[in-house]
Amino acid sequence: MEKEKLWTPDYILILCSYFLVANCFYYLLPALPLYIVDILGAEKESAGFIVGIFSFSALLIRPFAGYWLDRGQRQRIYIFSLLFFLLCQCLYFIMPSFNMLLGIRLLHGFSWGIVTTAGGTLIADIVPVTRRGEGISIYSMTFTVSMAIGPLIGTFIAKDQAYGLLFGIAIITAILALIFSFFVRNEASSLGLQQVNKSFFSKPVLPIASVMFFIVMPFAGIMTFVSIYGKNLAIEHDHLFFLWYAFGLSVTRPIIGKLIDRKGPLLLVLISGVISVIGFWYFSQVTTNLEFQVAALILGLGNGAIMPACYTMAINLVPREKQGLATSTLYTSIDVGISVGAIFLSKLVGWYSISFMFLFCAGILVLATIWFGLYVYPYYKRNI
């Protein structure tokens, strides 16, 4: 039997658009904590609020985004959300105070919440059902590659404190993402879907969402403190962390997608969980540049299967007309995990140290891996 075609023009266009918008996200991620410490004079613990409020506002909007997407016009919602994202990106040129920056991050998080939910739903529409794991895994790699390029550019520019240049590059990148989105032609995106969801959350997806909540909490610690951690340890090439992290993800994800379609997610997620635990423990102990980069590689290898596996499981549990709600529910759990993680882990840094915080993250992942194996996967098998 001949395989259904995956690499359609629509699929390629949405990959390009999402890759560019993800780069905008990652340009600022390592740069803003340095900006608030070096330029605005804020304490390093405040970095958690920059990440937390962004994720919190994305969390608030996602249920509504899923509801709107399941009413139809999915491509149009994606385009309008990209335009909103672009306008928010322009606001970074006017942030004379920490409080002003928080307000901009709040608005930017709203736009990010809609963009990512709409993009994920469009992908679920476009890829063939028989190649869904592979298609979603490749889609997630756009985020992975941008995770290498974005922080590399952001940190490099931030070292010279050329933040105006960084914000300008982000605006140009967002414009290109918007241009690509105009050419996507997805039939499902223009359908007025008959069964309109009356709920803002997808109940079948909640157990999987609970795993995502615990998985992304440690990642919030990386996003918020990796630049400051590298600076404290006097790591010469700390900006290469995300390059090695993304390399680890890129090595596993093309293979992972096909394995999920053929073998299921259980063993892959359990192995990834164990590797991630080892990675966070090792990261908490590093003292040299080599150890810093090796830890990034281990963490990338560990995280390679978890997110595409959970997203594929969530989409498989619901019919097509409820995929927007399923996507928003899963991404909402990610936003809650990042928000809670960024703020709570910032408190841990204030009370103890960054290295202790990363060790604590290893413990969170132990619990998440056990929870997946004992409850979430059996639940998935019963309901698939």
Q: What is each CA distance from 194 to 63, 141, 157, 314, 321, in whole angstroms?
A: 19, 33, 49, 21, 8
Range of the domain at 135: 9-187+203-383
SS (H, E, C) 201-260: CCHHHHHHHHHHHHHHHHHHHHHHHHHHHHHHCCCCCHHHHHHHHHHHHHHHHHHHHHHH
How many of the other CB atoms lie within 10 Å of CB of 2?
Answer: 4
Give domain status of residue 193, yes or no.
no
Report the number of distinct structural domains present in the chain.
1
Give domain status of residue 1, yes or no.
no
pLDDT tens, residue order, the chain (384 aa): 456 777 888 888 888 998 999 899 888 877 887 788 777 776 766 777 787 788 778 878 877 877 777 776 778 888 999 999 999 999 988 876 788 888 899 999 999 988 988 887 788 778 777 776 677 767 777 776 777 688 778 877 877 778 889 899 999 999 999 999 888 776 554 444 444 445 566 778 888 888 888 888 888 788 778 878 888 888 877 777 878 887 887 777 667 666 666 777 778 888 888 999 999 999 999 988 899 999 999 998 887 777 777 877 887 887 766 766 777 777 778 778 877 887 888 888 888 888 899 999 999 999 999 998 888 888 888 887
Give domain status of residue 316, yes or no.
yes
Q: Write out pLDDT tens, residues 199-253.
A: 566 778 888 888 888 888 888 788 778 878 888 888 877 777 878 887 887 777 6
The tokens for 18 are 């999402």
Give domain status of residue 307, yes or no.
yes
Taking the complete model, does pTM exceed 0.75, yes or no? no
Give domain status of residue 195, yes or no.
no
- CATH of residue 372: 1.20.1250.20
Q: Look at residues 297, 283, 281 and name the one whose alpha carbon lies nearest to residue 242.
A: 297
